[in-house]
Structure 1
Amino acid sequence: MASFAQTWSLLSLILQIIMFSGNAKTLTITNNCSYTVWPAIATTSGTGSTNDSGFLLREGQSNVVAVSTEWTGRVWGRTLCSTNQSTGNFSCQTGDCTTGNIQCNSSYVKPATLAEFSLSQTNINEDFYDVSVVHGYNLPLSVAPNVDSAPECTATGCVFDLQKSCQLAELRVVSKTNNSIIIGCKSPCDVFGTDQFCCNSSVSDCQRSNFSLGSSIFKRPCPRAVSYALDDDTDTFTCDDSRTSSYNITFCPSAAMSRLLSTPASQALQPAFAPKPDTLSPTTNSKTKPTHQNLPGNISKGKVHTALLVAFPTAAGVLIFVLVGIYLCISKRKAIEKFSGKSHFRLYIMVEY
């Protein structure tokens, strides 16, 4: 029998979908971590579910949240949350919403691994999504469109080894009860605050040595995640909004997904603010696109046709010659055997030697 929590979650989802009158997309949020996570949802535009702006997920639990098809917002996880017995104030050590309640709003305490969405962009009909560690990292997180076959609708996320990769002491967030346990890693930009570490004013800032040191903290282990301000042009992904009506958001994704997220995406898709390639005007000095006929090393169709005309008669002649030779050899052997009265075995010995 389904638990009360599961039954209430299902009823809540049905009510949400009815509320959106069929124009809804769903976010399936799953906790695969070995500890409790308190997901939070913040809506920037469109219609989200205010009843599910903050909730609890124990290990192995999932919750399905409906949002409007043109929803923009973010999802993140809070960890090490508790309620103060004397004040009744609810708070979390990472990703806290500062509301004092399990319900959330648009604000969060850094660091927090963010799943960001901008669904069904006007006049584009594409969903844009990313996983951002611009403001630090507190949880392994993946986002994957729920589609059967659409290579461009790829998964993204970040699975980060806090003990191994967050080596700078200034960036570490430690547990309030045990300062030897690292529970998060701050962004170098948030800690040091310079343009060189933030790379948010010009591309030249991204090329300085101290920025390379800061950006490598997240970019190397999480090549698909947005890790600094000017990074979203390569790590913001798109999916045609007609291909999927749901997204899977997973805390502590599987080992197979983690391996996928540790490799760069095969295609870097355009962000929301970038012009689409088919709207760009061709330049006057653009080169002719290479074709099969003018690529080096390729032969034209005429040459192929000529080669085939020569090859087939030649091959047929060789085959006829071989068959005639075999026939003559067999006939000669039979004649010799008949004449000498020798056995087939003796004839074979004689011929061999």
Structure 2
Amino acid sequence: MVRKANFLIRNNCPYTVWAASVPVGGGRQLNSGQQWTITVNPGTTQARIWARTGCNFDGLGHGRCQTGDCGGVLQCKGYGQPPNTLAEYALKQFNNLDFFDISLVDGFNVPMEFVPTSGACTRGPRCTADINGQCPNELRAPGGCNNPCTVFKTDQYCCNSGSCGPTSYSKFFKDRCPDAYSYPKDDATSTFTCPSGTNYRVVFCP
């Protein structure tokens, strides 16, 4: 029996966010305290959940968001525009494990928790620091804090050549959110695993 995974997405922020989820889910407006559950098949990879802020959509679901916008539509089909805090996952991969993380490689817009909620798996990443308030001036963006790759577009920050290390900017993110990816090669301290079939909860402003 192949077990699907349920993801409970909850908005604990004191403001409305527009949750986004690809490749499963699309998007939904979540007022403060509201939640949304999506069911994902094992084998799903390159999946992301994030919060969009400052959105304005018409009755047909067309509009824009200040952060995390995915092509001007409520129902996302592609990834969001930085800056956005990302919950990333790949289900039922090597050794029947799920791999999941919080990534700040696309910057930060909303504090986030990404935790398993079933089985014996208990540990997941949290990133709850006031990164927007403490963001270095050159990384500041409306509604969020950019990753240096977005701003400077150099190999040093974007790791295009595959060989790159931490920088003073990635250290800014890592010091505040030790569990989260701060640059593309930050695997050792940032990837979490659970047995396939685990359920998860993603909380904005935990």
TM-score by structure 2 length? 0.90
1:206 matched to 2:165? The reply is yes
Deviations, residues 191-245 of structure 1 (Å, cap 9, x unaligned) = 1122333345355x426xxx2x111221100111011111023311111225x2x
Go from structure 1 to structure 2 and tell me whether the alpha carbon gap of 1:34 and 1:200 turns closer, same or farther (over 3 Å shift): same
Correspondence for 2:73: 101
Taking the TM superposition and a 5 Å limit, the aligned residue runs for 1:1-353 are 23-43=3-23, 48=24, 52-72=25-45, 73-83=47-57, 89-98=62-71, 100-121=72-93, 124-147=95-118, 149-150=120-121, 153-167=122-136, 169-174=137-142, 183-201=143-161, 203=163, 205-206=164-165, 211=167, 213-241=168-196, 244=198, 246-253=199-206
Corresponding letter in the other structure for 1:142: E
Count residues in correspondence: 205
Structure possessing the higher relative contact order (Cα contacts under 8 Å, 6 or more residues apart): 2
Larger fraction in helix? 1
Measured after TM superposition, the shift of residue 39 of structure 1 is: 0.6
* 8 A Cα contact 2:114 2:201, kept in partner: yes
* 8 A Cα contact 1:165 1:217, kept in partner: no
In structure 2, C-alpha distance between the alignment counterparts of 1:206 and 1:131, rounded to whole Å: 19
In structure 2, C-alpha distance between the alignment counterparts of 1:202 and 1:83, rounded to whole Å: 39
In structure 2, C-alpha distance between the alignment counterparts of 1:36 and 1:129, rounded to whole Å: 25
* 8 A Cα contact 1:111 1:138, kept in partner: yes
Q: Which of 1 and 2 has greater Rg?
A: 1
Deviations, residues 304-330 of structure 1 (Å, cap 9, x unaligned) = xxxxxxxxxxxxxxxxxxxxxxxxxxx
Three-state SS of the structure 2 residue aligned to 1:250 is strand
In structure 1, C-alpha distance between the alignment counterparts of 2:30 and 2:61, rounded to whole Å: 20
In structure 2, C-alpha distance between the alignment counterparts of 1:39 and 1:95, rounded to whole Å: 9
Larger fraction in strand? 2
Corresponding letter in the other structure for 2:81: V
Go from structure 1 to structure 2 and tell me whether the alpha carbon gap of 1:22 and 1:239 turns closer, same or farther (over 3 Å shift): closer
Corresponding letter in the other structure for 1:184: G
Corresponding letter in the other structure for 1:139: V
Identity of matched residues, %: 42
Measured after TM superposition, the shift of residue 126 of structure 1 is: 0.4
Structure 1 residue ranges without an equivalent (≥5): 1-20, 175-182, 254-353
* 8 A Cα contact 1:35 1:58, kept in partner: yes
Three-state SS of the structure 2 residue aligned to 1:233 is coil
In structure 2, C-alpha distance between the alignment counterparts of 1:164 and 1:59, rounded to whole Å: 21
Correspondence for 1:261: none
